[in-house]
């Protein structure tokens, strides 16, 4: 099973991806986690990514694609995975299509978590991760970047007929039950 979980900041992608990973026994690949680890360990990539994220911007496509392609070479991803935080732009999605194509694989599902903007802002402010961009102004910028640059990725995958829209409002368990329902249909 190869799945992309998608939605705006604060939609619950990481939480749901962890549950899917456990339920279906597939690894969870989070570009955000890879970046946060690099930042915490102050690697060259981490320092570069930190300055980009501190400005509320997206990491350049070629850097993200190279990172994901390199990670997917690990044998643990051979039987499937859930991607969280990738692809975020149409060029990343097209590059990912090529990565799958080279391996003779296809995407099984693109899960779109739908959450109203007010709820997103409340969630981000209350989750207390202490990210340097978790201020109302920076959150608004991240959401604007998402709607303008990331949302077109949804249209890319709608053309491939793999999109499953999920109501992302409710308890973690309620949302996860909706996700599981989409796989059983």
Cite the active site residues. Answer: 13, 88, 127, 131, 142
Which residues have CB under 8 Å from 124's CB, separation 6+? 9, 10, 134, 139
CA 17 to CA 86: how far, in whole Å? 12
β-pairing verdict for 109-114 and 81-84:
unpaired
* Phi, psi values for residue 177, rounded to 5°: -60, -40
- What is the C-alpha to C-alpha distance for residues 56 and 90, in angstroms, rounded to an integer? 19
CA distance 180 to 79: 19
């Amino acid at each position: 099973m190869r799945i992309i979980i998608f939605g705006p900041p604060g939609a619950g992608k990481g939480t749901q991806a962890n549950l899917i990973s456990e339920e279906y026994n597939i690894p969870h690949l989070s570009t955000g986690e890879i970046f946060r680890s690099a930042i915490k360990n102050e690697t060259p990539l981490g320092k570069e990514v930190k300055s980009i994220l501190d400005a509320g911007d997206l990491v350049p496509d070629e850097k993200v694609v190279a990172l994901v392609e390199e990670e997917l070479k690990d044998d643990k991803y051979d039987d499937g995975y859930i991607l969280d935080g990738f692809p975020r732009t149409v060029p990343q999605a097209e590059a990912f299509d090529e990565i799958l194509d080279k391996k003779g694989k296809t995407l099984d599902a693109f899960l779109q978590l739908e959450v109203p903007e007010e709820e997103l802002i409340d969630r981000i402010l209350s989750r207390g991760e202490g990210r340097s961009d978790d201020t109302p102004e920076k959150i608004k910028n991240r959401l604007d970047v998402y709607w303008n640059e990331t949302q077109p990725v949804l249209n890319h995958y709608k053309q491939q007929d793999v999109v499953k829209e999920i109501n992302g409002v409710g308890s973690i368990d309620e949302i996860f039950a909706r996700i599981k329902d989409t796989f059983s249909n």
